[in-house]
Amino acid sequence: PYMKLDLSDMPILIGTVIFGPVGGMTIAGLKALLYWVTTGASIFGFIGVGSSLISSLVLIWSYYLGERAFSFTSGLKKTTLVILTMAISLMIVMSTINWLGVIPLYMNLMNMKLGFPLSTVILFGAVPFNLIKGVVVGGVFYAIKGSFLPRLKLR
């Protein structure tokens, strides 16, 4: 499937909490490289892995910056604001990437034509998908962060 909701960003976000955003970016880059190499290096795989990497980077930075921006509050309010920041950031960036790059590249490489405007695919496909993905990934991450991460002895 072209767009899929998976929880493979959990280790990346946990790494971001432990090692900071640069550590999270390193983990995301290694995950993308290993996935691309082990599943067969192809142009289609490269496009998919590239968009997955961008998605992971958006989640890392929106989480990190959201935590800092909403440091004046705590508890459920802060969690909700950061998850919304992650979801909205993911929606904006990935919808733009799909509109300007990913979908046109796939269509060109596969010699496909759409029977309706690309903007319709983005508006009714990419936008809701990325909002849902952002909320689900953010929600699961905060559940893990709240229950598992306090047990780790961090520096």
Residue 153 has pLDDT above 80, yes or no: no
Whether the full predicted model's pTM is greater than 0.85, yes or no, is yes
Whole-number Å distance between alpha carbons of 140 and 149:
13
Average pLDDT over residues 57-76: 95
Distance of CA 105 to the CA centre of its chain: 20
Q: Residue ranges per domain, the chain? A: 10-151
Return the DSSP state at 41.
-
| pLDDT value of position 40 | 83
Average pLDDT over residues 135-152: 88
Would you say 22 and 69 are in contact if contact means Cβ atoms under 8 Å apart?
Answer: no
| pLDDT value of position 140 | 96
| pLDDT value of position 2 | 63
Question: Mind listing the pLDDT tens digit for each residue in 84-122?
Answer: 999 999 999 999 999 999 999 988 998 988 888 999 989
Question: Mind listing the pLDDT tens digit for each residue in 36-50?
Answer: 999 888 888 888 899
Whole-number Å distance between alpha carbons of 67 and 73:
10
| pLDDT value of position 70 | 95
Task: Calculate ∠ Cα 103-96-84, nearest 5°.
Answer: 125
Work out the pLDDT band at 25, boundaries 50, 70, 90: very high
Tell me which architecture the domain covering 10-151 has in CATH: Orthogonal Bundle (1.10)
